[in-house]
Chain A
Amino acid sequence: MAHSLFADTSQQVSTVLIAGNKTATFNDKAEYSYEVKNPTDNPQVGIVSYQVFTETGKKLNAEVIKVNIPKKSSGKYDFEIAEPNAGFYKVNFMVNVSDYDDTTRRAFGIRPEELRSNHAMPADFVQFWKETRAELDNVKPQFKVTLLPDSTKDHRNVYLFEMKSLDGLTVRGYLTEPITKNKNKKFAVLLGLPGYQVSLPPMFGTDPDLAIITLNVRGQGNSRDVIHTMRDAYIFYHIEDKDKYVMRGAIMDCIRAVDFIYSRPELKHDCIMASGGSMGGFLSIATSALDKRIALCSAQNPIMSDISNLQGEVNWPLNDISRYVKSRPGLTMDKVMQNLSYYDTKNFASLLTCPTLLGIGMLDPIVPPNNAYIDYNNMTTKKHIIIFRDLGHEVGVPYKAYEGRWMRDTFGLF
């Protein structure tokens, strides 16, 4: 008798959960349809239930339904979950029947457009960054560009560039440009900003109209000459002093990259899109808010969003920061939070003036939708949000497809 290593799943009980709309955001009642398929020869007796939680895990609405699903049939259960308060909620749908137990974790939003932070922007936020920018302006960039012939591929030249940034640190990145015989050709620019402790390589793509810059901010990738922390330690590097915090320099590194773009005659200076995910999303919003030379901002799952309200919702980065605070006599979480308010994505978001695209995952364990949506609500510029109801700390292909179409349209690259 032959034995299969794998069970025949087509003969097992399974479930299908469908939200009432594509973004799982509702006015006052979340709607779900939960189907339990029973292809087996046994009736399935038990319960179907859901449990709603706040983003901090507090239990809210729940409902239990007794079910008896005959053999080779299915049961479909429609739920309306009323939540009076605006916000995002976690919800678990569970099935516990004769031959099957399963939990499906999802999230939904209720009137997210009403969400606002209860922490104000520091009164001197704009001044703080104005002074920081003035400090950067006092550092001569000393751009150095090196063609990397061995890296050239896909009909694109690759250049390594380096430049001096805030505090005289050297930061590096790559520029890839389509090879063209047209000496007058000018390229729109994608300024790609890095995720947390990600080393960005040159990026190629297939677009003949687009130059791509990938930047490794200080302490990351090939820009670790001075700052070279352990991976976990980067987020709290000099966090005790808002004037020395690592992100202050990292943001200025991004602005220096815009200076670099402006130094290149073959690049279109009025067609720059800053884009990045996670920490790159944070950097995209911060840089675009502080540097009006950026024409489009695209941010996916930006960290540091409404950071004072992250407590209890997520582990990272607060647990690493808290560990650091405990190791530093005299330093308190309150002091750190006060410093971080100068680096809160929501505060930068309110200063944006360029059109901005934001992508969020409803199941994001690092940037909860409550926090990311506050970034969006703080934006007063032309804006668009794409919500992925079933994704975590990532965005789907439709985001990138939309981003490409949006960029080409805005830059007139028809």
Chain B
Amino acid sequence: MKITKTAFKYSLTVVITLLTAYNSFAGGFPIRPGRLILSPSVSYFFADKQWDSTGVKKPFDDNGKFTSISMSLYAEYGISRRFSVVALVPYVINNYKETNYNQTFSGLTDLETGIKYYLANINYIYYFALQGTAITPMYKNPATGPQLGYGEEGAELKLSFAGSGNVFNRSYYFNVDNGVRQYFGTDGPIQDRYNATFGITLDTKFKEQLSASFGGFYTESNFKAYNKYNPILTKDFAFNQVSLSYGHAFSKVLSLFLTGGQFISGRNTGDGTSASISFVYRVGN
């Protein structure tokens, strides 16, 4: 008989596997069970202007300048297909300087430990994740003198949505997070922390990528004052910032990210500019 050639020639085509564009640890994407992601980073933050409580921007008084150098280690470990554990250990060196005033203080700040749950996907392209995080101060604020943070325990619930695909012959990814954080002190602020990132590869081998982010905090507290000497203690504030990041993958296990950011609007906060360098190292599997 003369069956069509197709029927006989029907062969096996190799499975097309997803080559992920995302090299970072974007929150919405699940992490492979047994894989550990380590990301050490150093950030520099600078502000010499501020937005007041009405959102009007003005220079700090008396040539004031706030700088902060933050060193942190982020870790995420996949314990199963659905669950991963996350941790962030930050260490900061803060300085506020103005005419006749110069104060520097440093130390470990708020430890973040959490668990992330891979909620669902759409067509195995778009992913949803829910993360619960505990905030634990790794310091004791002195009664007087510089303080490294609110000194309050806190908790955060964050929903993330991420996806990847192709556009203009390039791979892209996006990630959108929104987290609500509550500090449990007397005037412990409640915060809405949001971020949206879009990244695109610059080559077909996923070696180079660029990403742009928009994010910010909206935080409320009965304690309304702005602390110009130590802005991180301000509890009632808001800001939006944009950032641009370049990523380079040295290999499948090691990537580098260089990021620059700029605050674009705010209330009761400094007008910050930031730069950071971070590495992402994948261990296991």
Count the B residues whose beta carbon is within 8 Å of the partner chain — how many? 32
Contact A207–B17 (Cβ < 8 Å): yes
- Which single residue of chain B is at the shortest CB-CB distance from A366? B7
Contact B15–A210 (Cβ < 8 Å): yes
* Cα A282 to Cα B125 with chains together (Å): 28
A7 to chain B, nearest CB (A): 28
Contact residue among B3, B10, B17 (Cβ-Cβ distance under 8 Å from A316): B3
A26 within 8 A of B: no
- Which single residue of chain A is at the shortest CB-CB distance from B20? A414
Count the A residues whose beta carbon is within 8 Å of the partner chain — how many? 54
A-contact bits for B1-43, CB 8 A (1 contact / 0 none): 1011011111111111111100000000111110000000000
A-contact bits for B27-67, CB 8 A (1 contact / 0 none): 00111110000000000000000000000000000000000
Q: Which of B8, B12, B16, B124 has the most CB of A within 10 A?
A: B12
Interface residue ranges of B51-104 to A (CB < 8 Å): 78, 80-81
* Cα A316 to Cα B4 with chains together (Å): 9
B123 within 8 A of A: yes
B119 to chain A, nearest CB (A): 13
Q: Which residues of A contact B19 (CB under 8 A)?
A: 206
* Cα A325 to Cα B96 with chains together (Å): 95
B121 within 8 A of A: yes
Contact A320–B125 (Cβ < 8 Å): no
Contact residue among B1, B4, B12, B81 (Cβ-Cβ distance under 8 Å from A200): B12
- Which single residue of chain A is at the shortest CB-CB distance from B6? A393
Q: Which residues of A contact B17 (CB under 8 A)?
A: 205-207, 209-210, 404, 407-408, 413
- Which single residue of chain B is at the shortest CB-CB distance from A280? B12
- Which single residue of chain A is at the shortest CB-CB distance from B35? A414
A204 within 8 A of B: yes
* Cα A55 to Cα B13 with chains together (Å): 28
A278-B7, A366-B7, A394-B10 known; A414 vs B123 contact (CB < 8 Å) = no
Interface of B is mostly: loop
Contact B15–A404 (Cβ < 8 Å): yes
Q: Which residues of B contact A207 (CB under 8 A)?
A: 15, 17
* Cα A279 to Cα B20 with chains together (Å): 32
Q: Which residues of B contact A320 (CB under 8 A)?
A: 1
A192-B12, A319-B1 known; A409 vs B121 contact (CB < 8 Å) = yes
A319-B1, A412-B78, A413-B32 known; A280 vs B10 contact (CB < 8 Å) = yes
Q: Which of A200, A278, A301, A402 has the most CB of B within 10 A?
A: A278
Contact B4–A393 (Cβ < 8 Å): yes
Contact residue among A192, A204, A280, A414 (Cβ-Cβ distance under 8 Å from B31): A414
A-contact bits for B108-151, CB 8 A (1 contact / 0 none): 00000000000001011100000000000000000000000000
- Which single residue of chain B is at the shortest CB-CB distance from A176? B14
- Which single residue of chain B is at the shortest CB-CB distance from A185? B285
A56 to chain B, nearest CB (A): 19
Q: Which residues of B contact A366 (CB under 8 A)?
A: 3-4, 7
B77 to chain A, nearest CB (A): 13
Contact A277–B12 (Cβ < 8 Å): yes
A400 within 8 A of B: yes
- Which single residue of chain B is at the shortest CB-CB distance from A320? B1
Q: Which residues of B contact A212 (CB under 8 A)?
A: 14
Contact B10–A195 (Cβ < 8 Å): yes
Contact A278–B15 (Cβ < 8 Å): no
A294 within 8 A of B: no
Contact residue among A190, A194, A315, A407 (Cβ-Cβ distance under 8 Å from B1): A315
Q: Which residues of A contact B124 (CB under 8 A)?
A: 402, 405-406, 408-409
Q: Which residues of B contact A204 (CB under 8 A)?
A: 14
Q: Which residues of A contact B11 (CB under 8 A)?
A: 194-195, 198, 200, 277
